[in-house]
Amino acid sequence: MDIARTPSTPDGNPQLADAAPEPKEPPLIRREDYRPFPWLVPEIALDFDLGLEATKVTATLTVARNARADTSQVIRLNGDGLQPLSVAVDGELVNDWTMDGGDLMLPLPGEAHEVAIVTEIDPSANSQLMGLYASNGMLCTQCEAEGFRRITFFPDRPDVLSIYRVRMEGPKAQFPILLSNGNKIAEGEGEGGRHWAEWHDPWPKPSYLFALVAGDLVARSDSFTTMSGREVALNVWVRAEDLPRTGHAMESLKKSMKWDEEVFGREYDLDLFNIVAVGDFNMGAMENKGLNVFNTKYVLADPETATDGDFDAIEGVIAHEYFHNWSGNRVTCRDWFQLSLKEGFTVLRDQLFSQDMQGEAVKRIEDVRVLRSVQFPEDSGPLAHPIRPDSFREISNFYTATIYNKGAEVIRMMRTMAGPAAFRQGTDLYFERHDGEAATCEDFVRAMEDGAGLDLTKFRLWYSQAGTPKVSADLSHEGEVATLTLRQQVPPTPGQPAKHPMPVPLKLALFDRETGTHRGEQLVMLDGAEKTIAFEGFAQPPVLSINRSFSAPVSIERHVPREDLVFLAARDDDAFARSEAMQELVVGHLVAAAGEGLDENERSEGRAAIREALTAILVDPGLDDLMRGELMVLPGETYLAEQMLIADPGRIHAERESLKAWLAGELGRELRDIHARASSVPYSLDRAARGARKVKTLALSLLAAGDPERTADLAAGQYDAADNMTDRQGALMVLAGFPSAARTDRLIDFYRRYRENPLVIDKWFSLQAMSLHPDAIEHVKALRQHEDFTLRNPNRVRALYMAFAGNPHAFHAASGEGYRMIADMILELDPINSQTAARFVSPLGRWRRMEPGRAALMRGELERIAAATGLSRDTREQVTRSLG
């Protein structure tokens, strides 16, 4: 399942509603308390009589005692808001069952039984978008993590693996397409304009991977021949009007299938692979076996409506969900504590795929930027947790950047230590050992030890300890010896006040400052609290390039001369390290300026160094524009705040904008030259054209800070001349920050041009919510009342409010109005879609890092949310933990 590129409980359904009483705090579930389920369910047959307002579900379970579990005379079948219409055991109706909360408790005296349960649900009332729900006249499901229990009673846990047979019947005119997991084995016509289809999935799977889709859909169809010569039918199902925008998704799927065979040796295992695009979806996509359900955002694209970033995201998410067929489906999780087993590993796989498709250097920088902007703050805040948690109350709250992105980095470190070939041996062994099983993170680590020849005894700490390690690097020089001293400290996190040092693999190189060359990259293991390494043969002090390619997810603290950072920003041959030096140069200057402040001489020297480094980047003929664009990106205000013990967002914003304006004045000619050169490059999806579009808008955004009036004309011209969404959106992003007629005219034009396209109108909402316009808060208030805004569509909510929460200039308004807006929205959204609401708590949870005035306002809004009656368990847990 993909969330990072975004999940659910009361909805008005008589069977699925949570009524007004305050929900009890859910019990604390501990990893150490895991016990195998007492009953096996080798087969399940599901029969659906479909309707938007009433769907009857008959579930027939074949159950047998589990010899590896403690004996129980009762089977617990999880349910959420369901009431059984009938229960039968071995063909006889029974009434000796009881309810325990939402669960059905059924006595079973024998060794094996057949259990049949009939339920009825109302998909149209399911605003939580978990279980079976209606979306624009179609039916679809989302079952991860615990949505299957909203469809029927079942042991809804990932270690109960079953072979599924599914029969669906409904009105053909309303539901002409009937899809489920696996292969379609039969279909036919019924009476009264009805029809039916039967599906069989031969591979045992947990209930969270069940899927059903019924609706009026059309498909882009193709095929793929696997490495063993089997032909697989491929379909991307969408509404008819969206079919022309599915070509990129199909090509991404075929590339993913081929790449997974070549790089990981994984071949697809069914005759059919279906993707369905759904407009109402909590997450990015879901890897249901053979029937991936996607948010339309990650399927639909053409140059007129999708940016280059959208094309990349579609390719990456399609790959992520396809790769889950092995890392998540064929080998699944024993329990939800092992979530990073499938998600961290699969994120790494999709990152490596995207590196091969898009270029390693730029992709690595982008992935690290996401990690630092989302996961690092999570790791240093009240919601910090290890990638394999010890306990949880609401599993939905653990679909986090730590599980996904840090989990990927932990496995990437194993790959770095082993090398690609040995890493492949380890993954091959993992798949061989655990195919068809529900495995654990420990199973993966053991396979890497045995297959890749690694000793990961100490490395296991990465699974159990939260927090981002801080590594100080001090380089001294005497005679012809350079001495590097590394020290590690893992900061305390909630529930883990004292930490052990963790193994940290650091790639490094020492540059000769005269020749600009080095003797080769080395991998150094910091396997304790401190390590000293001597390097001989340096007549002059070398320049240290460290954590190259971001070989470890740590924070490097080093005290190096400013001229060394300028040197690395201009000359380092590792793309990430070069970008890092540029970022470090700017971060050091802005943090000092926004913190204790700089005198005029310090400010002048700092700016001059940044100008020197940026000039070298702008004119370097050896850089392609995609990489040049990465090096032009200034650190964001949220990231800058994370580098300070106590942050004042107002000062950070003022200093960053002041630096941008100064750079625009100093480098205006170079920036305008880049814009003009890039504007002459015709549209295509090749690397050069994508790079040109990237630097064009980055140049525009820098120029906007220095000469707003002239830049507004330039941006308006870019908007008017645009023949693609990347250029049009980039121009509108800059214009949205100007209080000018050009802004108003282009926003109106954009809306009129795309008003029938929900995904593009999402962009229209976001561009205004994240703008630097002085009235951004008032604009968001007005957009909340817009006829196209709805709280019932997660994409639209995120487009407006997540964009606003990610706009430090407006969100952190000194009045606290931005905080109130987010809190009001959480309280309004929570009864409709609690999982989406809960995800908005985190921005308010950073109050401890803010200056006292803002901190008090943020904490006050959290306390107001906490005091609300009827708050969902999802949101309440996030608020409680954020308050501490």
**CA–CA gap between residue 310 and residue 337 (Å, rounded):** 32
CA–centroid distance for 248 within its chain: 21
CA angle, residues 287, 289, 293, in degrees to nearest 5: 45
Q: Is the dihedral of CA 138, 139, 144, 150 positive or negative?
A: positive
At which residue do the structure tokens 């039968």 appear? 88
- Mind telling me the catalytic residues? 321
Size (the chain), residues: 884
For residue 266, give the nearest of 319, 315, 340 by alpha carbon.
Answer: 319
**CA–CA gap between residue 434 and residue 329 (Å, rounded):** 11
Q: How many CB atoms lie within 10 A of CB 476?
A: 12
User: How do beta strands 177-180 and 212-215 pair?
Assistant: antiparallel
E-strand spans in 181-227?
A: 183-189, 194-205, 212-215, 218-225
**CA–CA gap between residue 481 and residue 335 (Å, rounded):** 52
- Residue 536, strand partner residues: 481
Q: How many CB atoms lie within 10 A of CB 558?
A: 16
Amino acid (1-letter code) at residue 599: D
At which residue do the structure tokens 């590339």 appear? 255
**CA–CA gap between residue 507 and residue 544 (Å, rounded):** 11
Residue 705 CA: distances (Å) to CA of 615, 737, 763, 773: 18, 10, 22, 12
DSSP designation for 800: I
Residue 439 CA: distances (Å) to CA of 70, 157, 203, 204, 496: 20, 13, 16, 14, 26
Q: Which long-range contacts (CB under 8 A, 24 or more apart) does 759-763 make?
A: 759/296, 759/297, 759/300, 759/305, 759/306, 759/795, 760/305, 760/725, 761/788, 762/297, 762/795, 762/796, 762/798, 762/799, 763/725, 763/729, 763/799
E-strand spans in 279-386?
A: 285-286, 291-295, 331-333
Asked if omega into 69 is within 30° of 0 (cis), the reply is no
Backbone phi and psi for residue 697, each to the nearest 5 degrees, phi listed first: -75, -35
**CA–CA gap between residue 853 and residue 842 (Å, rounded):** 19
DSSP designation for 327: B
